[in-house]
Amino acid sequence: MNQKVMKKKAKPEDKSSTEEKIKEAARIVFTRKGYSATRTRDIAAEAGLNLALLNYYFRSKEKLFAIIMEEKVQQFFGFIVPVINNAGSSLENKIEQITSRYIEILSESPDLPFFILSEIRNNPGYFMNITGKANFLSRSVLIKQIREKAPGQNPFHYLINFLGMCVFPFLMNPVLQRMGAVDEKMFARMMKERKTLIPAWVKTMLESA
């Protein structure tokens, strides 16, 4: 009995699986090389796919970068907006939440601040797209609470110091490890300790204002 040769239909998950494979490769390559130095063929090679297939799904490097950049900005900044505008939480609670969350995020994705800060410096509009308003930070509950705690002082001094204490260690980690000052286990232990230390340091700064 003759059997008909049936064409195998693409499974519904095939498309999403390929798209995710391309996006994961793009995350790796964009983070490692930055937007300007990345070519679509670099992403295709990282994904183990041919260039034509990548172009079929995403058409251009610009479109793919916009998708990845939005993901990373959301990862780096997205959680902070509802926290800083929560009128029901104290300043101390906000500092503790932001510290803990940033250290967790950056411990999982240590390359994230390199990518975000480099690309946002070149195009700060990405950050504005996330917040929706250029002055959202100046009008936030967090800034209002800092002003009340340290009247007469520019509240952004404290905010910059605070965020610097959270993020800068991850920027310095590769240098510190290269110098032999820390190893991975020591750095991880230090970051865990900073979840408690940073809120205490910020509290001391505000009380001494």
CATH number for the domain that contains residue 50: 1.10.10.60
Is the same domain home to 88 and 188? yes
> Is 99 part of any domain?
yes
Closest Cα to residue 187, out of 200, 170, 208?
170
pLDDT of residue 167: 93
Is the same domain home to 93 and 179? yes
Tokens of 156: 């952004």
pLDDT of residue 177: 93
Torsion, Cα 105 111 117 123, to 10 degrees, reads -110
Is the same domain home to 132 and 103? yes
Residue with tokens 């693409």: 10
Average per-residue pLDDT in the chain? 86
Please give the residue that has the higher pLDDT: either 186 or 117.
186
Tokens of 204: 């001391």
> Is 125 part of any domain?
yes
pLDDT at 13 over 50: no
Cα distance between residue 98 and residue 104, in whole Å: 10
> Is 2 part of any domain?
no
Q: Using 50, 70 and 90 to split pLDDT, how confident is the model at 131?
A: low
> Is 175 part of any domain?
yes
Q: Using 50, 70 and 90 to split pLDDT, how confident is the model at 6?
A: very low
> Is 3 part of any domain?
no
Phi, psi of 55 (to 5 degrees): -65, -30
Please give the residue that has the higher pLDDT: either 138 or 16.
138
Is the same domain home to 113 and 180? yes
Q: Using 50, 70 and 90 to split pLDDT, how confident is the model at 114?
A: confident
> Is 6 part of any domain?
no
Lowest mean pLDDT among 102-116, 117-131, 171-185: 117-131
> Is 89 part of any domain?
yes
CB of 170 closer than 8 Å to CB of 113? yes
CA distances from 144 to 38, 74, 86, 159, 183 (A): 42, 24, 11, 12, 39
pLDDT of residue 68: 86
Helices (H), the chain: 12-37, 40-47, 51-58, 61-73, 80-84, 91-108, 112-122, 125-131, 141-149, 155-178, 184-207
Is the same domain home to 75 and 108? yes
Does pTM surpass 0.85? no
Question: For the CA atoms of the chain, what is the radius of gyration?
Answer: 22
pLDDT of residue 145: 97
Tokens of 12: 């519904």
pLDDT at 30 over 90: no
Give the structural domain span for 73. Answer: 69-207
Is the same domain home to 53 and 87? no
Cα distance between residue 205 and residue 162, in whole Å: 10
Cα distance between residue 139 and residue 6, in whole Å: 63
CB of 113 closer than 8 Å to CB of 169? no
> Is 149 part of any domain?
yes
pLDDT of residue 4: 42
Number of domains the chain contains: 2
Is the same domain home to 114 and 151? yes
pLDDT of residue 89: 96
pLDDT of residue 130: 55
Tokens of 41: 């063929």
Mean pLDDT of 69-87: 85
Cα distance between residue 32 and residue 37, in whole Å: 9
